[in-house]
């Protein structure tokens, strides 16, 4: 199997506007781009699973060459992955799409021919953005079945302010704000909310189903990026979704069939642990690099030797994580979640979200009372887990708790973040001290010692802030109990 790392990954930030066939670009500073004509063969499953996730896969053919392009949504931007290949989707692309496709066949759904002209906009010789007009023909064989035009503004080295400025200029020239959908959505008449293959689940048969759907979609959306490993945020969002799913199943326990919910919670715990081993190291390395960069007097070579030791520890858990994501066990988890979304047995008569929040808060309050003046690290970490459960339960209850519930969620997050900061410092200090004992390089060991001292400071600061943060959360929780 060709390695996934062979794929070129870039982050794309663009804006699309609708225009008529007679639209012409206003005068823009820069140089004309070479006119291009290319065909794009778009692929999806029969039930449009890629479109449902806001993703597109196409094989672009231009000047006798072919390039596979996979685009994944990333908030305001998109992650664009490219790989040369023949008429069959390359294996690395297929691996990234394992979860999105879920065994369904990828097949051509439409061919678009695009004639592109435009300008590379510059400011003081700096390339800001490419502004292009795309004249798009929807082909059936060699017959043009339909056509449409659009303008794209794609940032090169510009900022969001540049994007907005160029948009205003084009709107004044006669362009119209568009939905910003991929071309294939326009060609097939797909609206984003209609794209999901599981449309009926979106209509909502209860808050639990909707929340399950939201977290499931987060897993599916960030699975490809987690496999690729180019952006730690994908793994973070994936892991958060698994934790929220577990919390939802716990909070809604009385309303769910335990024969379905309990085993799924246990499997999600396994998945979260697999992801967490890598994510914790990502957080550790990012925090330590940021702190080490402030040591101006440190030997940069020794610093990099320290980080090479710490980063080497990431390879093994990442390998295990990728193996888990390729496993039948992981696919079975997704199948069980889909079953729950489609036909979740909800016993509403037995379920009160307000009671669940009260129960979780009382458990947290009992733990906090038992901590004493100088709690050990493990006991403090357990309060974070309880605080997170109380927060997620309140989020699920939603409007039923009113403004008091919103305040509780906000303060529970602050409590969770503070205790999480403490736990991160505990783990980091342990790893740094271990690394310092293994390093034979005095310079690298010295930097490790300084970073360990910083972790001690982080722990002390978090503990000092804990009483005030807890008092604020406890006040909100007691208001909910009235």
Question: Which CATH number characterizes residue 270's domain?
Answer: 1.40.20.10
C-alpha span between 114 and 112 (Å, rounded):
6
In order, the DSSP letters of 417-473 are: HHHHHHHHHHHHHHHHHHHHHH---HHHHHHHHHHHHHHHHHHHHHHHHHHHHHHHH
| Predicted local confidence at residue 366, as pLDDT | 95
- Nearest of 157, 178, 163 to residue 131 by alpha carbon: 163
Average pLDDT per 10 consecutive residues for the chain, totaling 482 residues: 59 90 93 95 93 91 92 81 89 90 91 95 93 94 91 93 94 89 87 48 53 88 90 91 88 76 92 93 90 86 87 90 95 88 63 82 94 88 92 83 91 95 91 81 87 93 95 94 80
Number of domains in the chain: 3
Hey, how many other C-beta atoms are within 10 angstroms of the C-beta on 336?
A: 16
pLDDT at position 332 is: 93
Compute the Cα dihedral for 180, 184, 186, 191 and give only its sign: negative
pLDDT digits (tens, 9 = 90+) for 283-323: 889 889 999 888 888 888 888 888 888 888 888 999 999 99
In a domain, 298, yes or no: no
pLDDT the model gives residue 433: 85
Tokens of 417: 């973040």
Query: Helix axis angle, 232-251 relative to 258-292, nearest 10°?
Result: 150
Is residue 296 situated within a structural domain? Answer: no
Q: What domain range is 409 assigned to?
A: 352-482
In a domain, 242, yes or no: yes
Indicate whether 121 and 258 sit together in one domain: no
Co-location of 58 and 122 in the same domain: yes
Q: Which residues of 272-295 are buried (b: 16+ CB within 10 A; e: fewer)?
A: bebbbbbbbbbebbebbeebbeee
At 437 the pLDDT is 79
CA–CA dist 480, 482 (Å, integer): 6
- Does residue 227 share a domain with residue 97? no
- CA 82 vs CA 224, 257, 269: distances in Å: 13, 44, 34
**Same domain flag for 43 and 176:** yes
Q: Are residues 169 and 206 in the same domain?
A: no
Question: Does one domain contain both 223 and 175?
Answer: no
Q: What is the pLDDT of residues 372-391, one digit of tens each?
A: 888 899 999 999 999 998 99
Residues 79 and 217 in one domain: no
How many helices (H) does the chain have, and how many strands (E)? 15, 11
Residues 439 and 367 in one domain: yes
Distance between CA atoms of residues 251 and 273, nearest Å: 20
In a domain, residue 50? The reply is: yes
Instruction: Say yes or no: 28 and 66 in one domain.
Output: yes
What integer pLDDT is reported at residue 127 of this predicted model?
Answer: 95
Q: Are residues 138 and 205 in the same domain?
A: no
Q: Report yes or no on 399 lying in a domain.
A: yes
Q: Establish if 295 belongs to a structural domain.
A: no
Same domain flag for 86 and 157: yes
Task: Indicate if 8 and 146 belong to the same structural domain.
Answer: yes
């Amino acid at each position: 199997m060709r390695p996934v790392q062979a794929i070129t990954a870039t982050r794309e930030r663009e804006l699309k506007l609708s225009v008529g066939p007679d639209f012409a670009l206003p005068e823009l500073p820069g140089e004309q781009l070479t006119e291009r004509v290319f065909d794009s063969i778009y692929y999806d499953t029969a039930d449009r699973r890629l479109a449902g996730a806001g993703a597109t896969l196409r094989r672009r053919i231009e000047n006798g060459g072919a390039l596979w392009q996979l685009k994944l949504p990333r908030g305001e931007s998109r992650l664009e992955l490219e790989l040369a290949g023949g008429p069959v989707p390359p294996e690395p692309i297929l691996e990234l799409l394992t979860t999105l496709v879920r065994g369904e066949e990828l097949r051509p759904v439409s061919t678009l021919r695009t004639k592109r002209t435009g300008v590379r906009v510059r400011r003081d010789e700096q390339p800001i953005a490419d502004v292009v007009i795309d004249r798009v023909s929807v082909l059936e064989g060699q017959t043009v079945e339909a056509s449409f035009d659009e303008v794209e503004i794609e940032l090169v080295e510009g900022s969001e302010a540049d994007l907005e400025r160029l948009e205003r200029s084009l709107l004044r020239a006669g362009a119209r704000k568009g939905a910003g959908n991929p071309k294939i959505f326009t060609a097939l008449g797909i609206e984003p909310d209609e794209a999901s293959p599981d449309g009926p689940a979106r209509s909502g048969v209860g808050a639990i189903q909707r929340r399950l759907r939201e977290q499931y979609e987060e897993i599916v959306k960030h699975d490809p990026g987690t496999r690729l490993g180019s952006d730690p945020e994908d793994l973070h969002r994936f892991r958060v979704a698994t934790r929220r799913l577990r919390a939802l199943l716990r909070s809604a326990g009385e309303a769910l069939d335990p024969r379905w919910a309990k085993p799924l919670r246990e499997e999600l715990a396994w998945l979260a642990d697999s992801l967490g081993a890598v994510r914790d190291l990502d957080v550790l390395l990012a925090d330590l690099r940021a702190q080490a960069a402030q040591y101006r007097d440190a030997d940069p070579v020794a610093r990099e030797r320290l980080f090479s030791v710490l980063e080497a520890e990431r390879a093994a858990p990442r390998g295990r994580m990728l193996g888990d994501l390729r496993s039948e066990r992981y696919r079975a988890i997704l199948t069980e979640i889909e079953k729950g979304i489609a036909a979740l047995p909800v016993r509403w008569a037995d379920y009160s979200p307000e009671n669940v929040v009260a129960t979780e808060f009382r458990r947290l309050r009992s733990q906090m009372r038992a901590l004493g003046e100088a709690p050990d690290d493990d006991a403090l970490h357990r309060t974070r887990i309880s605080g997170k459960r109380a927060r997620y339960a309140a989020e699920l209850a939603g409007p039923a708790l009113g403004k008091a519930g919103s305040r509780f969620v906000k303060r529970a997050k602050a409590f969770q973040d503070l205790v999480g900061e403490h736990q991160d410092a505990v783990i980091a200090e342990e790893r740094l001290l271990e690394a310092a004992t293994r390093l034979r390089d005095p310079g690298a060991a010295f930097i490790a010692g300084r970073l360990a001292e910083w972790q001690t400071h982080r722990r002390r600061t978090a503990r000092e802030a804990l009483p005030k943060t807890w008092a604020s959360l406890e006040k909100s929780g007691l208001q909910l109990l009235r």
